[in-house]
Amino acid sequence: MFAKSSLRAALFCGLTGTVGLSSAVADVSEQATRLAQQNIIVDGHIDVPYRIHDTWADVTQATADGDFDYPRAKQGGLNAPFMSIYVPASLDNSAESTQLAHRLIDSVEAIVYRAPDKFAIATSAAQVKQQFEKGLISLPMGMENGSPIQGDINNLKTFYERGIRYITLAHSQANHISDSSYDLRRKWKGLSPFGKKLIAEMNNIGMLIDISHVSDDAFYQVIELTEAPVIASHSSLRHFTPGFERNMSDEMLKKLGENGGIVMINFGSGFVTKEARKWRDGLSKYTRKLVKEHGKDSAQVRNAETSYREQQPYPYSSLSQVLDHIDYVVKLIGVEHVGIGSDYDGVGDTLPTGLKDVADFPNLVQGLLDRGYSEADITNILGRNFLRVWEEVEQYASQQ
């Protein structure tokens, strides 16, 4: 699997297997298909750039692997996927982090260059709407891990000029901006002094602030400091995964609602159910045992995941369980505060039944219809909620 998925294996799921193809789990009505095809679907986080960084794949055509390509996006109705400009925490505090970010932006521009009749870069909510009317798939970009900013506000402006429209402040470790939910060391006890300054600069320039991955303290400090709504580009709910700080607690959701922001539900099974979380913990224990018995460079350790899967099949979450997360947000803070942040191409072989790739969005729509959501509410969840937040961030910046 891809390098990012391998990293994420250590973080939450421990999986690298083969990528599932589209698999509907229920009949999709004409109404669901129409809603998927005739409305803007914004996905807050898709890891195509890092997927194709080491092994090039032409996603303007059908691809044999991965979760995203043009034919499948068209089939699913996806027309505004945020391309994740992901920089591993291992590159923090190095010039290479900034260089990698620029190379990944180059790769998104290359996708558009290869197929300008299919894709277009989007740097504003208005562009997404205009390109939707033209039948183009917009490719807005968000930076996952603020490491490439390097403590220099000029870099923030440079990346804005290159098309970056949100920044996930940290990833798997504390960086120079913020503590991470995955990092037991609370270096800053929230945001760093520079991070606090950066919040204001992001507001002023019109850059969306993404609180996925940050520690709870960092989240609350962001909410206190920001003058504009924030997003959680690919997070789910701690209610369903107790103890998993990477997801959002009820209190955090309430603060997000008061802020006017949006949580974009992550589809990875490890984000959706406690059973998948427990499976990951079991894999970690099993791997440590093999390291002790055979050494960390042994074949047994390299194949630990495969052998563990044979003993303990992975407990994939279901479409219904993903919908439970959406329901929970709606009941707690309102339908206007929830969206989609699938994490396709970023979570390896952990995707739920019925949501195996970007062709499966009609399944999600059908599930919402089956649960009694109105067409207006579904349209908001698919994309209008996010576009509303984006426009409010743009409006605040225009007044500075």
**pLDDT per residue over 42-53, tens digit each?**
999 999 999 999
Instruction: Give the pLDDT score at 2.
Output: 32
Instruction: Give the pLDDT score at 26.
Output: 57
Overall average pLDDT of the 247-263 stretch: 98
Measured between alpha carbons, how far is 145 from 151 in angstroms, rounded to an integer? Answer: 13
Measured between alpha carbons, how far is 294 from 140 in angstroms, rounded to an integer? Answer: 46
Tokens at 46, concatenated: 């898709």
Measured between alpha carbons, how far is 310 from 17 in angstroms, rounded to an integer? Answer: 12
The answer to whether residues 165 and 142 touch, using CB atoms and an 8 Å cutoff, is: yes
Instruction: Give the pLDDT score at 89.
Output: 96
Q: Residue 302: how many CB atoms within 10 A of its CB?
A: 12
Overall average pLDDT of the 168-179 stretch: 98
244 pLDDT exceeds 80? yes
**pLDDT class for 16, splitting at 50, 70, 90?**
very low
25 pLDDT exceeds 80? no
Q: What percent of the chain has pLDDT over 70?
A: 94
The CATH fold of domain 3-273+315-398: TIM Barrel (3.20.20)
Overall average pLDDT of the 367-371 stretch: 98
295 pLDDT exceeds 50? yes
Burial (Cβ within 10 Å: 0-12, 13-18, ≥19) of residue 268: buried
Q: Which of 296, 377, 286, 291 is nearest to 337 (CA)?
A: 377
Instruction: Give the pLDDT score at 54.
Output: 81
The answer to whether residues 329 and 237 touch, using CB atoms and an 8 Å cutoff, is: yes
pLDDT, greater one: 369 or 55: 369
Tokens at 161, concatenated: 């000029």
Overall average pLDDT of the 362-375 stretch: 98
Tokens at 213, concatenated: 């991955």
Instruction: Give the pLDDT score at 85.
Output: 98
The answer to whether residues 85 and 104 touch, using CB atoms and an 8 Å cutoff, is: yes
